[in-house]
Amino acid sequence: MKKRRVLVMGSAILLAFLFSIWLNQPDLDLDPIAPANLASATTEQVRAGEYLVRAGNCAGCHSASGGAPFAGGKAIETPFGAVYSSNLTPHDDTGLGRWTDADFYRAMRHGRSKDDRWLSPTFPYTSYTNLTRADSDAMFAWLRALPPVDQAQPPPTLRPPYELQIATRVWRALYFRPAKDADIAAMDRGQYLVEGLGHCAACHTARGALGGPRSANAWMGGEIIGLGWDALPLAGIVDTGDFSDLELASLLKTGVNSRQAVSGPMAEVVFHSLQHLKDDDIAAIVSYLRRLPKAEAPAAPKVPQVSADERAALRKRGAVVYGEHCADCHGDDGEGQIRKYPALAGSRLVTAASATNALRLTLDGGFPPSTDGNPFPYGMPPFSHQLSRPDIAAVLTYIRSEWGNDAPAVSVVEVERR
Write the DSSP string, 124-143: -HHHHTT--HHHHHHHHHHH
In a domain, 16, yes or no: no
Contact criterion met (CB below 8 Å) for 320 and 399: no
Residue 321 and residue 277 share a domain: no
Q: Residue 96: inside a domain, yes or no?
A: yes
The residue ranges of DSSP E strands in 216-360, in sequence order, are 222-224, 229-231
Q: Quick one: 201 and 157 in the same domain?
A: no
Provide the domain count of the chain: 3
pLDDT in tens, 321-366: 999 999 999 999 999 999 999 999 999 999 999 999 999 999 999 9
For residue 271, being part of any structural domain is answered with yes
Over range 4-22, report the average pLDDT. 47
Which has the closest alpha carbon to 368: 274, 256, 202, 286?
256
Mean pLDDT of 196-225: 95
Residue 6 forms part of a structural domain: no
Q: What is the rounded average pLDDT of the residues 101-120?
A: 96
Residue 24, in any domain of the structure: no
State the CATH number of the domain containing residue 330. 1.10.760.10
**83 located within any domain:** yes
Asked whether residue 166 falls in the same domain as residue 204, the answer is no
**CB 189: neighbour CB atoms within 10 A?**
14
Task: Answer whether 148's CB lies under 8 Å from 99's CB.
Answer: no
**pTM of this prediction?**
0.91
Pseudo-torsion of CA 107, 109, 110, 114, nearest 10°? -20
Which phi-psi region, left, alpha or beta, contains residue 269 (left: φ > 0; alpha: ψ -120 to 50)? alpha
Residues 176 and 209 in one domain: no
Domain boundary among 291, 326, 351: 291
250 in the same domain as 151 = no
Q: Tell whether 14 is covered by a domain.
A: no
pLDDT in tens, 128-159: 999 999 999 999 999 999 999 999 999 999 99
Residues 269 and 339 in one domain: no
pLDDT at residue number 190: 98
Q: Are residues 260 and 336 in the same domain?
A: no
Quick one: 273 and 316 in the same domain?
no
pLDDT attached to residue 2: 56
Using the 3D structure, point to which of 230, 265, 291 is the last residue of a domain: 291
CB-CB contact of 76 with 122 (8 Å): yes
For residues 349 and 390, membership in a common domain is answered with: yes
Amino acid in position 369: P
Report how far apart, in Å, the C-alpha atoms of 331 and of each of 343, 346, 350, 364 are.
8, 13, 15, 21
The reply to whether 240 and 333 lie within a common domain is no
Q: Mark whether 44 and 168 lie in a shared domain.
A: yes
Cα gap 32→293, rounded to integer Å: 35
> In terms of domains, do 55 and 170 share one?
yes
Distance CA 206, CA 33 (A): 33
| Cα distances (angstroms) measured from residue 129 to each of 18, 135, 171, 178, 402 | 28, 12, 16, 6, 45
* Last residue of one domain, picked from the residues 180, 198, 230: 180
Those residues with Cβ within 8 angstroms of residue 219's Cβ, 6 or more apart along the chain or in another chain: 200, 201, 204, 205, 233, 234, 235, 292, 295
Residue 4 has pLDDT above 90, yes or no: no
The answer as to whether 298 is a domain residue is: no
The residues near 245 (Cβ < 8 Å, ≥ 6 apart) are: 239, 283, 286, 287, 290
Q: What is the pLDDT of residues 40-70, one digit of tens each?
A: 678 999 999 999 999 999 999 999 999 999 9
Nearest to 322 by CA among 410, 396, 389: 396
Domain containing 348 equals 308-416
